[in-house]
Amino acid sequence: MHVSEIDTPALVVDLDIMERNLARVAGYAREHGLRLRPHTKTHKSVRLARRQIASGAAGLTVAKVSEAETMLGAEPDDVLVAYPIIGPTKLARLTQVARQTRVTVALDSAYAAGQLSDAARAGQVEIGVLAEVDAGLGRVGVNPGEPLLELARTIEKLPHLRFAGIAFYPGHIKSVDETGRRALAQLSEFLRGILDDFRAAGIEIAIVSGGSTPTLFHSHEIQGLTEIRPGTYVFNDLNTIGSGACALEDCAATILATVVSTARPGQMIIDGGSKTFSSDRLANPAEVTFGHVVEAPGARFHKMNEEHGFIDLAHAEAGFRVGDRVHVIPNHICVAVNLHEKVYGLRGDTVEEVWPVDARGKLQ
């Protein structure tokens, strides 16, 4: 199948770029002795999870129990659910997953730990737990010092749980510029303090799990870190470029779209909007735009409705007619992938494979 036979809008991936991305991060992790546990939320695909494992990943990360269930298809040795799992239905399902592979959960409350322990006991499994600490994002995670130690002690005491270490997500570091370098140094200080606290308290920490896309290739500078969980690197997107963690030529995934209207001079409408790209804005927007048109980088994708993308052509390098097709790199590939049933993998202009987005819409 030739790329021209793909109906639009469609998510297409340049396999050469994707394979280079996989190899680069696996090589980086190996070089620096960091365990690589990729977050599968980006691709939601069993096939790509298998490739990540084949290229050196020591396990997988997921955000939802349903994603963990799906990712069992990739036969991982180890799954980290990097999200507090709350509620009896999800917990019962999680123990089923834990019968098939080693499961670790990151959580930040005694409530979540207690419920997990009860479920693990009922399901006759052991589940690893990482105590989530807030490294500055202010999302999930307890404060360091006594709150974190108390959470760790609670986990240690609960039956059927195995206290495995700590987890954090430095989402407050948007790029490794001068400010970002200072924040990275502070993060090392922060972790050193935590490790000292735990040493003093006589609690062993096996895993320090953290990192983010902007800090990905600086993970080895975060002292104490043992494990990284990157997701976006498999495809990359405009946000990754904006964070400095990749270049334009590292973006493997684009939305292939068709021009459906040029009725208004200086503008074209493409057949994808918020139901195709998502309405995620750029993380660090100079202005509101929704994607980069590969065929005309000067075109401005400035507005969208559900099925309409508005492209301003005032500064475009090319003219377009109804029926023309363009490739658009989205702002945020993780939310875009979740809107598609399948992905076309291209080798040059040939569709080499098509894979389903297995965990698409798996919300529970």
- Interaction site with a copy of itself (CB under 8 A): 5, 7-10, 41, 63-64, 83-84, 86-87, 89-90, 108-109, 111-112, 115, 132, 134, 138-143, 171, 258-264, 267, 269, 271-272, 274-276, 278-281, 305-308, 310, 321-323, 334-335, 338-341, 360-361, 363-364
Interatomic CA distance for residues 187 and 174, integer angstroms: 14
The CB-of-51 to a copy of itself minimum distance in angstroms stands at 22
E strands, 252-324, are 253-261, 267-270, 291-293, 300-304, 309-312
Distance linking the first and last C-alpha atoms of the chain: 36
Name the residue nearer to a copy of itself (CB basis): 55 or 240: 240
Interatomic CA distance for residues 135 and 109, integer angstroms: 16
The CB-of-63 to a copy of itself minimum distance in angstroms stands at 5
The CB-of-163 to a copy of itself minimum distance in angstroms stands at 18
Interatomic CA distance for residues 352 and 344, integer angstroms: 8
The CB-of-305 to a copy of itself minimum distance in angstroms stands at 7
Interatomic CA distance for residues 186 and 170, integer angstroms: 11
The CB-of-249 to a copy of itself minimum distance in angstroms stands at 26
Name the residue nearer to a copy of itself (CB basis): 34 or 346: 346
Contact 205, 195 (CB under 8 A): yes
Contact 78, 67 (CB under 8 A): no
The CB-of-299 to a copy of itself minimum distance in angstroms stands at 16
Neighbouring-strand partners of residue 228: 36, 210
Name the residue nearer to a copy of itself (CB basis): 26 or 255: 255
> How crowded is residue 304: how many other Cβ atoms within 10 Å of its Cβ?
23
Name the residue nearer to a copy of itself (CB basis): 313 or 339: 339
Name the residue nearer to a copy of itself (CB basis): 249 or 350: 350
Interatomic CA distance for residues 77 and 85, integer angstroms: 20
Name the residue nearer to a copy of itself (CB basis): 87 or 298: 87
> How crowded is residue 106: how many other Cβ atoms within 10 Å of its Cβ?
29
